[in-house]
Chains A and B, each alone.
Chain A
Amino acid sequence: MEGAWILMAETKNPIISCDHVSKTFYSLAGDHLVVDDLSFNVYENEFVVLFGPGQCGKSTILNLIAGLELPTKGKIIVDGEPVVGPSPNRGMVYQTTNLFMWETVMQNVEFGPSVRHVPRKKRREIAQKYIDLVGLTGFEKHYPVKLSGGMQQRVGIARAYANEPKIICMDEPFGHLDAQTRYLMEADVDRITHAEKRTVLFVTNNVEEAIYLADRIILLHNCPTSVHKEYKVDFPRPRDYTAPDFLALREKITDEMDKTL
């Protein structure tokens, strides 16, 4: 089955391709190799989860793909173009609340279009569409301080989508949320990515979240980070956290993860 998957993958063009990427942070205290010879591909409209334990440089990988950091070795190609800096084609959703606190929900969501000087009426329309999609209708005029953590992350997701990027990177977007909200948000992301087909690269250290959301899980080695193993997940959606298949895969990945530590 894994062989068949590889064959199928080769017939498609990857939208993200990391080719032997390494990243070292240089400092006076010593050089720190964070990403070591990392190679993987992501295909159009695929939901790929980068899964790995704690401090293993997963965020660095997303920053490299976003173009906020440049690799020390190797190259990253997104949509046929090498990454040399940030681009509106690659949206980011971060772990911490990074909304613009001085802007309303609406202004936050329409930030991307307004940077590109999309006319006011048009960008209101776009923003409204994604505010509705993430379920925040009625909160357009609120300031982020008034919203709960989960709602703030919804605004963050709507903001990334409203810029209509080719790929969306999410860096542990639910890391700070309580378990209950987390389940709700996972279900919503599942719904949103189904409604609005995009290529999503999702980082998490939660194995349930990974299996619930992913088309494919890339299990990463601990520091320095490289690809340890890949799992294709083709259970029907929405998935059931307690289904036997789900639990079996969960156990398999958890066992394998212990080897990466």
Chain B
Amino acid sequence: MDEKLQNTARKRRLQYRLISLCSILVFIGIWYLATAVLQLAPSYSLPSPVKVFQTFITKLTKTAPEGATLGQHFLASLQVAFTGYVLGVVIGVPLGILMAWHKWVDIIVRPVFDFLKPIPPIALIPVMIVLLGITIKAKAVLIFFSTVIPCILNSYSGIKQTKSIHLWVAQTFGASRRQQLFTIAIPSAMPMIFAGLRVAMGSSWMALVAAELLASTKGLGYMISVGRALLRSDLIIVGILCLGLIGIVISFLFDLLEKLFVRGGKER
């Protein structure tokens, strides 16, 4: 019986995959029809998928026209994003937890935090350029900023949402404040904290591409902006598709991490 159930589940999963594959193929098919066959748009504004694929392949090895291969752009973007993101998480999550747990940390940090919170990170790009120039550092600081805010917000509300009954139970077992934090509050806030990490990833990736579009000498955003300047829409689309693919890979990695760190599942 169990095996039968497993078989149906497997069959269904295969079915879903086939359907997803079909919808992607249909999308590309329409694109191909509209450009290569019907030629609804001139090829310099919307190239056919074949052309885009060719550009993708050549960009893997060739540095023309903007001076770096796709891999180099990708690494440049990733390096900046990673530095800023890790810093943001390492500072943001503990800070959010401390703010929720210790009243005086909240009182000290909150005024500054409330002031910085509503500023869209992209608005900081000019400031960063003035302060730090068109450097990796400028972009890392920007990413840091767009990561740290959602990290603080989510860790804070995650800890605040700790059920008081759980804390009471811990108290009747004689758990100290510190033990309550590490054995009750933080584990129960884990799903919230993870949601924060996801949001932070999205917003920092967005801020990075925006920064690269405006001011940089490398990175996927830079490649896109050069493509625009040269009217190379195939280059632009390759850049956009790469960003999308990286997004999918990152969210897949997060799913894995979440399975590792968030235990027990949601309460009914």
A positions within 8 Å CB-CB of B? 66-68, 85-88, 90-92, 94, 96-98, 100-104, 111-112, 114-116, 143-145, 163
Contact = CB atoms under 8 A, between A and B. Distances in A.
B169 A102 contact: no
Interface of B: 163, 165-166, 168-175, 179, 183-184, 187-188, 190, 262-268
Contacts of B179: 115
Nearest to B267: A101
Given A67-B172, A88-B174, 5 more contacts: A66-B172, A88-B172, A100-B188, A103-B264, A115-B175
Given A115-B179, A143-B264, A68 B171 contact: yes
Which among B184, B187, B262, B264 has the highest number of chain A CB atoms within 10 Å? B264
A91 B172 contact: yes
B184 A92 contact: no
A66 to B, nearest CB: 5
12 contacts: A86-B171, A88-B173, A88-B174, A91-B172, A96-B165, A98-B166, A100-B166, A100-B188, A101-B264, A102-B188, A115-B175, A145-B264
Nearest to B261: A102
Please report whether the interface of chain A is mostly helix, strand, loop or mixed according to DSSP. Answer: loop
A145 B175 contact: no
Contacts of B264: 100-104, 143-145
B172 A92 contact: yes
Given A101-B264, A145-B265, A87 B174 contact: yes
B173 A145 contact: no
Contacts of A87: 172, 174
A103 B264 CA distance: 6
A96 B169 CA distance: 12
Contacts of A104: 264
A102 B263 CA distance: 5
A97 B262 CA distance: 19
A-B interface, 6 closest residue pairs, ranked by CB to CB distance from nearest: A88-B174, A86-B171, A143-B264, A102-B187, A102-B264, A112-B173
Given A111-B173, A145-B268, A92 B187 contact: no
A91 B190 CA distance: 27
A90 B179 CA distance: 18
Contacts of B263: 102-103, 143
